[in-house]
Amino acid sequence: MKLERELMRGAGPTAVLKLLSKHEMYGYELVEALSKQTDGVLAMGQSTLYPMLYNLEAKDLIEANWRSAANGRDRKYYSLTGKGKKKLKADMEAWARLNEAMVSIGVLKGAPA
Amino acid sequence: MSSSSLSKAWRWSVVRSPLLNAWRWLWHMGYPNRIAFDLLDSADLPSEVDALIRATVKRSKLWASERGEIVRELIAHTQDAIEAGRTGEEIAETFGDPKRIAKLMRRSMKGKRPVYWRAYRNMKRAMGVMVLVLIVGYGSLAVRFYLGKPEVKRNYIAELNARDDGYSEDQKAWGVYQEADIAWQRHTLEARKRQRAQAQEREMDRSDDVDRPWAWYHAGLDRLGSMTPEHPDYLEVVGLLRAFEPWIARIREAAQRPALGVLYSDRSEEVEIEDGIKVVRVLPPSDDPAAQRALAEVLLFNFSVMRRFTYMLKFDTQLALESGDSQRARANLLGQLGLAKQSKQQGFLISDLVGIAILDRLGQDLNEMLLAYPDPWTRDQLVALAHAISTVQSLPALGFKTEAMMFDDMLQRVYTDDGHGNGRLTRDGLFVLSGIGGGSFEGGPEFRVERAIQSLTGPMTLVMMEDRKTQYDSYHRMMDTARRVLEGGPESIGYLSYLDGLSKARVEQRLSSNYSPVDLFMPAMTKAVDRAFQSQLSTQATMTMLAIEIYQRDHGQLPESLDQLAPRYLPSVPQDPFNPGFPLQYVVGETGYIVYSAGADGDLDGGVQIDPEVDRRSFRSLSRRFSFEIEHGDDGMPKIVRDAKGLAILLEPDAPDSDWVLIDMRRAPGPTGSD
């Protein structure tokens, strides 16, 4: 199942920031990770991922570096900046509050007490 | 700014600066996809993916370096996918629509561009908005400018012509003047032919032809005033005038008629009614004022004819006195006064100035004639002359009403009319203003260019030029001031200078074109009022001289002082505007008497005058006499500064130490008559 565009627009950047918080990643790696780790819910193609990455880069939330990989090919690796970390933290708190709100009105099921 | 930010800014400035990109654009011969496509060529991607990436890059409209960056990343992505076991078809399937991707890429990449690029973009946008605002503003002004139409309601030309409606034809002088003008042209033409024939007989050379014998009448009759018996053409001219005597008699008679009766019109033509004889034929003006030209364009050709006749009468007066015919001399002087009166009755500023000039000239001539021919003048003749002069003098000094009609007529032809005295400038009106202001020859190529420029810039004048009511108020306020000063006397001329200066400053602080209709129509009022005061002074002196002469005939001797003349011979002793609070000075000597003013330096020097040129200059300095010594009273109004005696402060204490002799009746040259 794929998310609607509006939902993806809100969730996508936070998901990418979260993935990059663990370690730096290149574009295809991100696509794969998003697809597999979210069971396809947050799967996105190149048309969505790369503009999103460029936007995050423009906002100084991530930074990019071209580097040669082990297979000898050049890849552009993205990593989180200090500003990106703060943003991720704020986004995660916002999502937690949203989650609680959704639980409270019964959209989501709450964790058993 | 962090070090990463700094390095990023440096990278941008080096790699992606607009200047470098401009250079790259030139380097790649305007082919911004070259970097990207070279990368694709060497990457050897599956054809379907390659095509999609190329389509995306082409549509991105980004800088060449940015396209290269995107392609490099998409190549890496595709190669990773292939390495992960995806086929070209599968990759192409998940690629998406190139058009949409290009749009998203463009938007996000632009977000990465440096601050100065965004500043440049914002500036361009702001300029675009500004241009748009200007276009919209100009458009709305243009609509108002082009759609506005003046409404010409009042027929000022008809109103002018209606002034003489109450007079019968034999009470109007203009018809006689026209006939006399034609007769004089015919008369001189015959003389010219005769003289040419004589010159050919005498085989005179060309240079003689130019100087004489007929050059004197090329300039009309203007030279008659300075013609003396020593002049080589004197006898010829005397003969011509004697032969013209019946017509001169008719001119004298017409000059006594109550109305001039000239037909003012915007349409006239110069026609040659006989070989060599040209007249201005006035065509009746249209009944529809909208079809007429502006009143300011009405030709006032009649005044030049009338001025020429005054020269003729003056010369004939001289001839009459030489032959002892004082009756004819007096009739000629009254004729000149009649011409002055008829001219002043027209109410134009120019006609008033013509009237003033005739009157002033007559005063000087009378002085010379009484000096040269004292005997023929009887008491009654002198009294009649004095009465005639005072009649002309009692007319309004300057006709503001007709002058203002020209301005009001212009306003109705230039502005719209909102029914409440206001309106806005129109396209037709701008052309009218340009025509009055002296535009190019109508119909010529320059005229068409001028009109095109005016049409284009015209809407903007709506913003710059003041509206109808403001123009009307400004003009009439200045005219009212001039009228008040004229009524207030010479001392208040400083007030006019002061106000004139204020008005000028006010106009100059803004664009002078704001008030261009007022600028165009406002006469040099300070000079005109000054001229009127000068004329009043010299006419007062002439009246004083006549009073002295009459007194002398009554008592057999000259009066001892001017006090003896009032009230029987003069209503009051004439005052000296150069010496406020004191009368004109009168000094009797052995050879006669003089009447003089203190002159520009404002103090009395016993009637000593340095030279006539200085006198003439002191005449002109009357307007500066009280010009700038003005201060504001408690009520905020400007007031003339006075000294301890209550006299206006003299402005030019350093002016030449000279008096100004207005009347000189000393019969033989000798020391200046001070006693």
**What are the tokens at B279?**
């007249």
User: In this complex, do A54 and B112 lie within 8 Å of one another by their Cβ atoms?
Assistant: yes
**What are the tokens at B257?**
């008629």
Q: Per-residue pLDDT averaged across B604-627, rounded?
A: 56
Measured in angstroms, the CA of B77 and the nearest CA of chain A are apart by 5
Q: Nearest by CB to B112, which of A31, A48, A58?
A: A58
Low-confidence winner among B107-121, B320-334, B638-652 (lowest mean pLDDT): B638-652
Q: Per-residue pLDDT averaged across B223-242, rounded?
A: 78
Buried b (16+ CB within 10 A) or exposed e, B205-222: eeeeeeebbbebbeebbe
Is residue B414 within 8 A of residue B429, CB to CB? The reply is yes
pLDDT the model gives residue B527: 74
pLDDT the model gives residue B398: 80
Q: What is the 3-state secondary structure (H, E, C) of B381-416?
A: HHHHHHHHHHHHHCCCCCCHHHHHHHHHHHHHHHEC
Which residue is closest to B82 within chain A, CA to CA? A28
User: In this complex, do A47 and B95 lie within 8 Å of one another by their Cβ atoms?
Assistant: yes
Name every chain A residue with its beta carbon within 8 A of the beta carbon of B15. none
Q: Nearest by CB to A54, which of B2, B100, B111?
A: B111
User: In this complex, do B101 and A46 lie within 8 Å of one another by their Cβ atoms?
Assistant: yes
Inter-axis angle of helices B349-372 and B302-322, nearest 10 = 10
Q: Which residues of chain A have pLDDT under 50?
A: none
Name every chain A residue with its beta carbon within 8 A of the beta carbon of B105. 50-51, 54
Name every chain B residue with its beta carbon within 8 A of the beta carbon of A76. 72-73, 76
* Residue boundaries of the structural domains of chain A: 5-104
Which residue is closest to B97 within chain A, CA to CA? A47
Is residue B348 within 8 A of residue B295, CB to CB? The reply is no
User: In this complex, do A47 and B112 lie within 8 Å of one another by their Cβ atoms?
Assistant: no
Strands (E), B275-346: 277-283
Distance, in Å, from the CA atom of B169 to the CA atom of B4, rounded to the nearest integer, reads: 104
pLDDT the model gives residue B626: 47
Measured in angstroms, the CA of A81 and the nearest CA of chain B are apart by 9
pLDDT tens for B374-413 read: 888 889 989 999 999 998 887 877 878 888 899 999 999 9
- As separate numbers, helices (DSSP H) first and strands (DSSP E) second, chain A gives 4, 3
**Regarding predicted confidence, which is higher, B485 or B55?**
B55
User: In this complex, do A47 and B104 lie within 8 Å of one another by their Cβ atoms?
Assistant: yes
User: In this complex, do A47 and B107 lie within 8 Å of one another by their Cβ atoms?
Assistant: no
Distance, in Å, from the CA atom of A73 to the CA atom of A86, rounded to the nearest integer, reads: 32
Note the helical H segments in B489-512. 493-509
Name every chain B residue with its beta carbon within 8 A of the beta carbon of A35. none
Instruction: Write down the mean pLDDT value for chain A.
Output: 89
What are the CB-based long-range contacts (under 8 Å, 24+) for B222-230?
B222/B308, B222/B311, B224/B311, B224/B312, B224/B314, B224/B315, B225/B311, B225/B314, B225/B315, B225/B361, B227/B315
Residues of B with CB under 8 A from a CB of A: 2, 4-5, 8, 70, 72-74, 76-77, 79-81, 83-84, 94-97, 100-101, 104-105, 107-109, 111-112
Q: Does position B674 have pLDDT exceeding 80, yes or no? A: no
**Bridge pairing between strands B585-588 and B593-597:** antiparallel
CA distances from B586 to B372, B572, B607 (A): 20, 14, 9
Residues of A with CB under 8 A from a CB of B: 26-29, 31-32, 45-48, 50-52, 54-55, 57-60, 63, 66, 71, 73-76, 81-82
* Residue boundaries of the structural domains of chain B: 3-113, 174-256+300-393, 400-528, 532-664
**What number is the ipTM of this complex?**
0.92
Q: Does position B652 have pLDDT exceeding 60, yes or no? A: no
Name every chain B residue with its beta carbon within 8 A of the beta carbon of A51. 101, 104-105, 107-108
Q: Which helix (H) or strand (E) holds B597?
A: strand B593-597
Share of chain B above pLDDT 90, in %: 33
**SS3 of A66, please?**
strand
| Angle, vertex CA B325, rays to CA B190 and CA B253, nearest 5 | 65
Q: Does position B189 have pLDDT exceeding 90, yes or no? A: no
**DSSP string of B244-279, one letter each residue:** THHHHHHHHHHHTSSB------SEEEEEEEETTEEE
Which of B34-48, B569-583, B616-630, B633-647 holds the top average pLDDT? B34-48
Name every chain A residue with its beta carbon within 8 A of the beta carbon of B66. none
pLDDT tens for B482-527 read: 787 778 776 666 555 555 554 544 444 443 556 677 777 776 776 7
Measured in angstroms, the CA of A98 and the nearest CA of chain B are apart by 28
Distance, in Å, from the CA atom of B229 to the CA atom of B316, rounded to the nearest integer, reads: 13
Four-residue CA torsion sign, B337, B343, B349, B354: negative
Q: Does position B601 have pLDDT exceeding 50, yes or no? A: yes
Name every chain B residue with its beta carbon within 8 A of the beta carbon of A82. 2
User: In this complex, do A50 and B105 lie within 8 Å of one another by their Cβ atoms?
Assistant: yes
Q: Per-residue pLDDT averaged across B633-649, rounded?
A: 59
User: In this complex, do A76 and B100 lie within 8 Å of one another by their Cβ atoms?
Assistant: no
Q: Per-residue pLDDT averaged across B244-270, rounded?
A: 93
Q: Nearest by CB to A55, which of B73, B94, B108?
A: B108
pLDDT tens for B403-451 read: 889 999 999 999 999 999 999 999 999 888 888 776 656 667 788 888 8
User: In this complex, do B80 and A76 lie within 8 Å of one another by their Cβ atoms?
Assistant: no
Spell out the residues 6+ positions from residue B109 whose beta carbon is closer than 8 angstroms to its own. A54, B60, B62, B66, B69, B70
Nearest CA among A61, A65, A50 for reference residue A18: A61
Name every chain A residue with its beta carbon within 8 A of the beta carbon of B2. 82
Which residue is closest to A47 within chain B, CA to CA? B101
Q: How many CA atoms lie within 13 A of B62 on its CB side?
A: 27
Which residue is closest to A83 within chain B, CA to CA? B2
pLDDT tens for B548-573 read: 999 999 999 999 999 999 999 999 99
User: In this complex, do A63 and B4 lie within 8 Å of one another by their Cβ atoms?
Assistant: yes
Other Cβ atoms closer than 10 A to B182: 16
Q: Nearest by CB to B100, which of A32, A47, A66?
A: A47
Residue B633 phi, psi (nearest 5): -80, 180
pLDDT the model gives residue B167: 94
Chains A & B: contacts with CB separation below 8 Å: 71
Which residue is closest to B56 within chain A, CA to CA? A47
Q: B653 falls in which pLDDT band (50, 70, 90)?
A: low
Name every chain B residue with its beta carbon within 8 A of the beta carbon of A48. 96, 104
**Regarding predicted confidence, which is higher, B185 or B619?**
B185
pLDDT the model gives residue B511: 35
Measured in angstroms, the CA of A48 and the nearest CA of chain B are apart by 8
pLDDT the model gives residue B213: 47
Instruction: Write down the mean pLDDT value for chain B.
Output: 81
Distance, in Å, from the CA atom of B477 to the CA atom of B471, rounded to the nearest integer, reads: 10
Which of A20-34, B226-240, B521-535, B633-647 holds the top average pLDDT? A20-34
CA distances from B74 to A44, A69, B57, B295, B506 (A): 14, 16, 10, 81, 70
User: In this complex, do A29 and B80 lie within 8 Å of one another by their Cβ atoms?
Assistant: yes
User: In this complex, do A29 and B70 lie within 8 Å of one another by their Cβ atoms?
Assistant: no
Which residue is closest to A81 within chain B, CA to CA? B4
Name every chain B residue with its beta carbon within 8 A of the beta carbon of A31. 77
**Regarding predicted confidence, which is higher, B601 or A80?**
A80
Measured in angstroms, the CA of B92 and the nearest CA of chain A are apart by 10
Which residue is closest to A32 within chain B, CA to CA? B81
Q: Per-residue pLDDT averaged across B289-301, rounded?
A: 83
Distance, in Å, from the CA atom of B455 to the CA atom of B468, rounded to the nearest integer, reads: 20
Nearest CA among B553, B665, B316, B78 for reference residue A31: B78
Strands of the sheet with B660-664, listed across from one edge: B585-588, B593-597, B660-664
pLDDT the model gives residue B196: 75
Distance, in Å, from the CA atom of B646 to the CA atom of B51, rounded to the nearest integer, reads: 103
Name every chain B residue with its beta carbon within 8 A of the beta carbon of A26. 76, 80
User: In this complex, do A81 and B107 lie within 8 Å of one another by their Cβ atoms?
Assistant: no
Low-confidence winner among B200-204, B225-229, B351-355 (lowest mean pLDDT): B200-204
* Topology annotation, domain A5-104: Arc Repressor Mutant, subunit A (1.10.10)
pLDDT the model gives residue B480: 81
